[in-house]
Protein backbone atom coordinates (compact mmCIF):
# COMPACT_ATOMS: atom_id res chain seq x y z
CA UNK A 1 0.00 0.00 0.00
CA UNK A 2 1.15 3.47 -0.74
CA UNK A 3 1.85 5.83 2.12
CA UNK A 4 -1.26 8.09 2.36
CA UNK A 5 1.00 11.04 3.10
CA UNK A 6 2.38 10.77 -0.41
CA UNK A 7 -0.93 10.33 -2.22
CA UNK A 8 -1.07 12.62 -5.22
CA UNK A 9 -3.51 15.43 -4.86
CA UNK A 10 -6.45 15.29 -7.28
CA UNK A 11 -6.67 18.02 -9.87
CA UNK A 12 -8.58 21.07 -8.79
CA UNK A 13 -12.26 21.20 -9.59
CA UNK A 14 -11.81 24.22 -11.80
CA UNK A 15 -9.22 22.45 -13.89
CA UNK A 16 -11.34 19.31 -14.17
CA UNK A 17 -14.36 21.24 -15.31
CA UNK A 18 -12.55 23.32 -17.93
CA UNK A 19 -13.71 21.93 -21.26
CA UNK A 20 -16.14 19.56 -19.53
CA UNK A 21 -19.03 21.93 -19.01
CA UNK A 22 -20.59 21.28 -22.42
CA UNK A 23 -19.63 17.69 -23.23
CA UNK A 24 -19.36 14.46 -21.19
CA UNK A 25 -15.95 12.82 -20.81
CA UNK A 26 -16.74 10.03 -23.26
CA UNK A 27 -17.15 12.62 -26.02
CA UNK A 28 -13.43 13.50 -26.02
CA UNK A 29 -12.19 10.33 -27.78
CA UNK A 30 -15.11 10.56 -30.21
CA UNK A 31 -14.03 14.09 -31.14
CA UNK A 32 -10.48 12.88 -31.80
CA UNK A 33 -11.77 10.00 -33.92
CA UNK A 34 -14.00 12.50 -35.71
CA UNK A 35 -10.85 14.44 -36.60
CA UNK A 36 -8.70 11.41 -37.41
CA UNK A 37 -11.09 9.86 -39.93
CA UNK A 38 -11.57 12.86 -42.27
CA UNK A 39 -7.89 13.79 -42.12
CA UNK A 40 -7.00 10.23 -43.11
CA UNK A 41 -9.54 10.20 -45.93
CA UNK A 42 -8.56 13.66 -47.17
CA UNK A 43 -4.86 12.86 -47.36
CA UNK A 44 -5.17 9.16 -48.26
CA UNK A 45 -2.04 7.88 -50.03
CA UNK A 46 -0.82 11.40 -50.72
CA UNK A 47 1.87 11.23 -48.02
CA UNK A 48 4.94 9.41 -49.33
CA UNK A 49 7.88 10.48 -51.40
CA UNK A 50 9.00 7.13 -52.78
CA UNK A 51 12.21 8.50 -54.31
CA UNK A 52 13.57 10.46 -51.33
CA UNK A 53 13.89 8.43 -48.12
CA UNK A 54 10.55 6.64 -47.87
CA UNK A 55 11.32 4.24 -50.70
CA UNK A 56 14.04 2.88 -48.45
CA UNK A 57 11.44 2.32 -45.72
CA UNK A 58 9.70 -0.07 -48.10
CA UNK A 59 12.83 -1.68 -49.49
CA UNK A 60 14.60 -2.46 -46.21
CA UNK A 61 11.87 -4.52 -44.49
CA UNK A 62 11.09 -6.23 -47.80
CA UNK A 63 14.70 -7.41 -48.03
CA UNK A 64 14.73 -8.51 -44.39
CA UNK A 65 11.48 -10.43 -44.91
CA UNK A 66 13.26 -12.31 -47.73
CA UNK A 67 16.05 -13.41 -45.41
CA UNK A 68 18.73 -10.75 -45.81
CA UNK A 69 20.54 -9.66 -42.64
CA UNK A 70 20.44 -6.11 -41.34
CA UNK A 71 24.00 -4.89 -40.56
CA UNK A 72 25.29 -7.90 -42.49
CA UNK A 73 23.91 -8.07 -46.01
CA UNK A 74 22.47 -4.57 -45.62
CA UNK A 75 24.34 -1.59 -44.18
CA UNK A 76 22.19 0.40 -41.75
CA UNK A 77 22.81 3.44 -39.56
CA UNK A 78 19.78 3.26 -37.24
CA UNK A 79 18.62 0.85 -34.57
CA UNK A 80 17.28 -2.61 -35.45
CA UNK A 81 13.77 -2.40 -33.99
CA UNK A 82 11.72 -0.58 -36.63
CA UNK A 83 12.97 -2.38 -39.73
CA UNK A 84 12.54 -5.80 -38.15
CA UNK A 85 9.07 -4.86 -36.93
CA UNK A 86 8.05 -3.76 -40.42
CA UNK A 87 9.60 -6.91 -41.88
CA UNK A 88 7.47 -8.97 -39.50
CA UNK A 89 4.39 -7.06 -40.64
CA UNK A 90 5.32 -7.81 -44.25
CA UNK A 91 5.68 -11.51 -43.44
CA UNK A 92 2.28 -11.60 -41.74
CA UNK A 93 0.17 -9.25 -43.87
CA UNK A 94 2.07 -9.17 -47.14
CA UNK A 95 4.64 -6.85 -48.71
CA UNK A 96 2.65 -3.73 -49.45
CA UNK A 97 2.53 -0.02 -48.80
CA UNK A 98 -0.96 -0.64 -47.43
CA UNK A 99 0.50 -2.81 -44.68
CA UNK A 100 2.64 0.05 -43.41
CA UNK A 101 -0.20 2.55 -43.84
CA UNK A 102 -2.49 0.65 -41.47
CA UNK A 103 0.31 0.01 -38.99
CA UNK A 104 1.24 3.69 -38.97
CA UNK A 105 -2.39 4.77 -38.73
CA UNK A 106 -2.68 2.64 -35.60
CA UNK A 107 0.45 4.31 -34.21
CA UNK A 108 -1.02 7.76 -34.97
CA UNK A 109 -4.25 6.88 -33.15
CA UNK A 110 -2.41 5.50 -30.12
CA UNK A 111 -0.05 8.48 -29.91
CA UNK A 112 -2.93 10.96 -30.20
CA UNK A 113 -4.78 9.16 -27.40
CA UNK A 114 -1.62 9.05 -25.30
CA UNK A 115 -0.97 12.78 -25.67
CA UNK A 116 -4.61 13.59 -24.94
CA UNK A 117 -4.59 11.45 -21.79
CA UNK A 118 -1.27 12.88 -20.59
CA UNK A 119 -2.28 16.51 -20.95
CA UNK A 120 -5.77 15.85 -19.62
CA UNK A 121 -4.21 14.48 -16.43
CA UNK A 122 -1.85 17.45 -16.14
CA UNK A 123 -3.95 20.37 -17.33
CA UNK A 124 -7.56 19.29 -17.74
CA UNK A 125 -9.73 17.81 -20.46
CA UNK A 126 -9.65 20.83 -22.74
CA UNK A 127 -5.84 20.78 -22.81
CA UNK A 128 -5.86 17.05 -23.52
CA UNK A 129 -8.31 17.46 -26.37
CA UNK A 130 -6.25 20.35 -27.75
CA UNK A 131 -3.02 18.33 -27.58
CA UNK A 132 -4.51 15.37 -29.42
CA UNK A 133 -6.13 17.64 -32.01
CA UNK A 134 -2.94 19.61 -32.68
CA UNK A 135 -0.96 16.41 -33.15
CA UNK A 136 -3.48 15.04 -35.63
CA UNK A 137 -4.08 18.23 -37.59
CA UNK A 138 -0.51 19.58 -37.70
CA UNK A 139 1.94 16.72 -37.39
CA UNK A 140 0.39 13.36 -38.26
CA UNK A 141 -0.49 13.97 -41.92
CA UNK A 142 1.14 17.29 -42.82
CA UNK A 143 3.47 18.12 -45.68
CA UNK A 144 5.33 21.40 -45.23
CA UNK A 145 8.31 20.85 -47.53
CA UNK A 146 8.92 19.73 -51.10
CA UNK A 147 9.33 16.11 -50.00
CA UNK A 148 6.54 14.10 -48.41
CA UNK A 149 8.57 12.53 -45.62
CA UNK A 150 7.78 14.69 -42.60
CA UNK A 151 4.63 12.94 -41.43
CA UNK A 152 3.73 9.94 -39.33
CA UNK A 153 1.99 7.95 -42.07
CA UNK A 154 4.96 7.53 -44.41
CA UNK A 155 7.95 8.89 -42.47
CA UNK A 156 11.48 9.31 -43.73
CA UNK A 157 12.50 6.88 -40.97
CA UNK A 158 10.19 4.70 -38.93
CA UNK A 159 12.84 4.85 -36.22
CA UNK A 160 11.79 8.50 -35.75
CA UNK A 161 8.05 7.90 -35.37
CA UNK A 162 8.51 4.73 -33.34
CA UNK A 163 11.07 6.51 -31.16
CA UNK A 164 8.72 9.42 -30.46
CA UNK A 165 5.86 7.06 -29.59
CA UNK A 166 8.01 4.90 -27.29
CA UNK A 167 9.55 7.92 -25.56
CA UNK A 168 6.11 9.48 -25.01
CA UNK A 169 4.72 6.20 -23.69
CA UNK A 170 7.67 5.83 -21.31
CA UNK A 171 7.11 9.36 -19.98
CA UNK A 172 3.40 8.62 -19.54
CA UNK A 173 4.21 5.52 -17.47
CA UNK A 174 6.56 7.50 -15.23
CA UNK A 175 3.88 10.16 -14.79
CA UNK A 176 1.53 7.40 -13.66
CA UNK A 177 4.25 6.12 -11.32
CA UNK A 178 4.43 9.58 -9.75
CA UNK A 179 0.68 9.40 -9.09
CA UNK A 180 0.67 5.80 -7.89
CA UNK A 181 4.20 4.34 -7.53
CA UNK A 182 3.50 0.75 -8.46
CA UNK A 183 6.21 -1.53 -9.75
CA UNK A 184 4.34 -2.13 -13.01
CA UNK A 185 4.55 1.55 -13.99
CA UNK A 186 8.29 1.77 -13.32
CA UNK A 187 8.91 -1.50 -15.13
CA UNK A 188 6.76 -0.64 -18.11
CA UNK A 189 8.38 2.80 -18.39
CA UNK A 190 11.83 1.21 -18.41
CA UNK A 191 10.79 -1.43 -20.96
CA UNK A 192 9.50 1.25 -23.32
CA UNK A 193 12.66 3.32 -22.92
CA UNK A 194 14.74 0.23 -23.66
CA UNK A 195 12.80 -0.22 -26.88
CA UNK A 196 13.39 3.46 -27.71
CA UNK A 197 17.12 2.76 -27.42
CA UNK A 198 16.70 0.45 -30.42
CA UNK A 199 15.33 3.20 -32.70
CA UNK A 200 17.14 6.53 -33.21
CA UNK A 201 19.72 7.73 -30.73
CA UNK A 202 18.31 11.26 -30.38
CA UNK A 203 14.92 9.98 -29.23
CA UNK A 204 16.54 7.47 -26.93
CA UNK A 205 18.62 10.23 -25.31
CA UNK A 206 15.55 12.45 -24.95
CA UNK A 207 13.64 9.61 -23.33
CA UNK A 208 16.52 8.83 -20.97
CA UNK A 209 16.93 12.49 -19.99
CA UNK A 210 13.21 12.88 -19.28
CA UNK A 211 13.22 9.67 -17.26
CA UNK A 212 16.25 10.79 -15.23
CA UNK A 213 14.63 14.13 -14.39
CA UNK A 214 11.35 12.46 -13.49
CA UNK A 215 12.96 9.83 -11.27
CA UNK A 216 14.92 12.53 -9.41
CA UNK A 217 11.95 14.84 -8.97
CA UNK A 218 9.60 12.15 -7.65
CA UNK A 219 11.20 11.98 -4.19
CA UNK A 220 12.48 15.58 -4.30
CA UNK A 221 8.96 16.93 -4.82
CA UNK A 222 7.49 14.63 -2.21
CA UNK A 223 5.43 12.64 -4.70
CA UNK A 224 7.05 9.30 -3.92
CA UNK A 225 8.92 8.15 -0.79
CA UNK A 226 12.68 7.98 -1.38
CA UNK A 227 12.87 4.25 -0.70
CA UNK A 228 10.02 3.55 -3.10
CA UNK A 229 11.62 5.77 -5.75
CA UNK A 230 14.94 3.93 -5.37
CA UNK A 231 13.19 0.60 -5.80
CA UNK A 232 11.35 1.99 -8.81
CA UNK A 233 14.66 3.07 -10.32
CA UNK A 234 15.93 -0.49 -9.99
CA UNK A 235 12.87 -1.88 -11.75
CA UNK A 236 13.13 0.81 -14.42
CA UNK A 237 16.77 0.06 -15.25
CA UNK A 238 16.25 -3.70 -15.15
CA UNK A 239 13.30 -3.49 -17.52
CA UNK A 240 15.20 -1.11 -19.82
CA UNK A 241 17.94 -3.72 -20.20
CA UNK A 242 15.52 -6.45 -21.30
CA UNK A 243 14.96 -5.22 -24.91
CA UNK A 244 18.69 -4.64 -25.36
CA UNK A 245 19.57 -8.14 -24.20
CA UNK A 246 16.77 -9.66 -26.28
CA UNK A 247 17.92 -7.77 -29.38
CA UNK A 248 21.51 -8.90 -28.85
CA UNK A 249 20.45 -12.54 -28.54
CA UNK A 250 18.26 -12.34 -31.64
CA UNK A 251 21.06 -10.77 -33.67
CA UNK A 252 23.43 -13.46 -32.36
CA UNK A 253 21.34 -16.20 -33.99
CA UNK A 254 22.63 -15.43 -37.48
CA UNK A 255 26.14 -14.08 -36.81
CA UNK A 256 29.04 -14.38 -34.33
CA UNK A 257 28.59 -12.69 -30.97
CA UNK A 258 31.10 -9.91 -31.65
CA UNK A 259 29.31 -9.03 -34.89
CA UNK A 260 25.95 -9.11 -33.11
CA UNK A 261 27.25 -6.71 -30.46
CA UNK A 262 28.70 -4.44 -33.14
CA UNK A 263 25.38 -4.49 -35.01
CA UNK A 264 23.42 -3.60 -31.88
CA UNK A 265 25.65 -0.63 -31.10
CA UNK A 266 26.26 0.46 -34.72
CA UNK A 267 23.92 3.47 -34.63
CA UNK A 268 25.37 4.65 -31.30
CA UNK A 269 28.97 4.34 -32.52
CA UNK A 270 28.26 6.24 -35.74
CA UNK A 271 26.89 9.20 -33.79
CA UNK A 272 29.48 9.19 -31.02
CA UNK A 273 32.38 8.80 -33.46
CA UNK A 274 31.54 12.16 -35.00
CA UNK A 275 32.58 13.24 -38.46
CA UNK A 276 29.06 13.65 -39.78
CA UNK A 277 29.08 17.33 -38.89
CA UNK A 278 31.79 17.85 -41.51
CA UNK A 279 29.44 16.89 -44.34
CA UNK A 280 27.58 19.81 -45.91
CA UNK A 281 24.22 18.02 -45.76
CA UNK A 282 24.39 17.48 -42.00
CA UNK A 283 25.85 20.93 -41.39
CA UNK A 284 22.84 22.40 -43.16
CA UNK A 285 20.43 20.16 -41.25
CA UNK A 286 22.02 21.13 -37.92
CA UNK A 287 22.11 24.82 -38.82
CA UNK A 288 25.90 25.05 -38.59
CA UNK A 289 26.39 26.46 -42.09
CA UNK A 290 25.21 29.84 -40.71
CA UNK A 291 25.22 29.43 -36.95
CA UNK A 292 24.93 33.14 -36.06
CA UNK A 293 22.17 33.78 -38.56
CA UNK A 294 20.23 30.74 -37.40
CA UNK A 295 20.59 31.74 -33.75
CA UNK A 296 19.18 35.17 -34.56
CA UNK A 297 16.35 33.54 -36.50
CA UNK A 298 15.57 31.28 -33.53
CA UNK A 299 15.65 34.26 -31.17
CA UNK A 300 13.19 36.12 -33.38
CA UNK A 301 10.85 33.12 -33.47
CA UNK A 302 11.17 32.77 -29.70
CA UNK A 303 10.20 36.40 -29.23
CA UNK A 304 7.20 36.00 -31.52
CA UNK A 305 6.13 32.90 -29.61
CA UNK A 306 6.42 34.72 -26.29
CA UNK A 307 4.30 37.54 -27.67
CA UNK A 308 1.58 35.12 -28.71
CA UNK A 309 1.70 33.43 -25.30
CA UNK A 310 1.47 36.79 -23.52
CA UNK A 311 -1.59 37.71 -25.56
CA UNK A 312 -3.16 34.33 -24.81
CA UNK A 313 -2.35 34.65 -21.10
CA UNK A 314 -3.84 38.15 -21.03
CA UNK A 315 -7.01 36.91 -22.71
CA UNK A 316 -7.21 34.05 -20.23
CA UNK A 317 -6.84 36.36 -17.22
CA UNK A 318 -9.41 38.78 -18.65
CA UNK A 319 -11.91 35.98 -19.26
CA UNK A 320 -11.42 34.61 -15.75
CA UNK A 321 -11.98 38.06 -14.25
CA UNK A 322 -15.11 38.51 -16.35
CA UNK A 323 -16.45 35.13 -15.27
CA UNK A 324 -15.83 35.96 -11.60
CA UNK A 325 -17.65 39.27 -11.97
CA UNK A 326 -20.64 37.56 -13.56
CA UNK A 327 -20.63 34.66 -11.14
Task: List, for residues 40-98, the tens digit of each pLDDT value.
Answer: 999 999 998 877 788 899 999 999 999 999 998 998 989 999 999 999 999 999 999 99
Q: Indicate if 237 and 175 belong to the same structural domain.
A: yes
Domain hosting residue 191, numbered range: 157-273
CB neighbour class for 222 (10 Å; exposed up to 12, middle 13-18, buried from 19) = exposed
Residue 1 lies in a domain: no
CB neighbour class for 115 (10 Å; exposed up to 12, middle 13-18, buried from 19) = buried
Q: Indicate if 169 and 137 belong to the same structural domain.
A: no
pTM: 0.84
What value does the mean pLDDT of the chain take? 88
Residue 144 lies in a domain: yes
Q: Indicate if 145 and 191 belong to the same structural domain.
A: no
Q: Indicate if 209 and 230 belong to the same structural domain.
A: yes
Using 50, 70 and 90 to split pLDDT, how confident is the model at 22?
A: low
* 118-165 per-position pLDDT tens digit: 999 888 888 999 999 999 999 999 888 777 788 999 999 999 999 999
Last residue of a domain, one of 131, 152, 173: 152
Amino acid 172: pLDDT: 95
Last residue of a domain, one of 98, 126, 152: 152
Residue 104 lies in a domain: yes
Give dist(CA 119, CA 34) in Å, integer.
Answer: 19
Residue 70 lies in a domain: yes
Residue 8 lies in a domain: no
Q: Indicate if 197 and 256 belong to the same structural domain.
A: yes
Task: Specify the number of domains making up the chain.
Answer: 3
Q: Indicate if 193 and 92 belong to the same structural domain.
A: no
Using 50, 70 and 90 to split pLDDT, how confident is the model at 10?
A: very low
Q: Indicate if 318 and 246 belong to the same structural domain.
A: no
Least confident stretch, 35-39, 75-79, 112-116, 163-167 = 75-79
Amino acid sequence: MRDPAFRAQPPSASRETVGAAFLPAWADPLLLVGLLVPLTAWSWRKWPDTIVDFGMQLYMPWQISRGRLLYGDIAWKQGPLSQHLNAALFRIFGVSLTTLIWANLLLVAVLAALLAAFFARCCGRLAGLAAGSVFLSVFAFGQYAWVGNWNYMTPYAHEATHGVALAAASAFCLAEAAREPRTVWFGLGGLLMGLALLTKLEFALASAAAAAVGLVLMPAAGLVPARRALGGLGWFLTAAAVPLIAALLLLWINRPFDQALAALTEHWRLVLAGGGQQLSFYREQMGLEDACGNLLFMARLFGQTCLVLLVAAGADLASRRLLRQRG
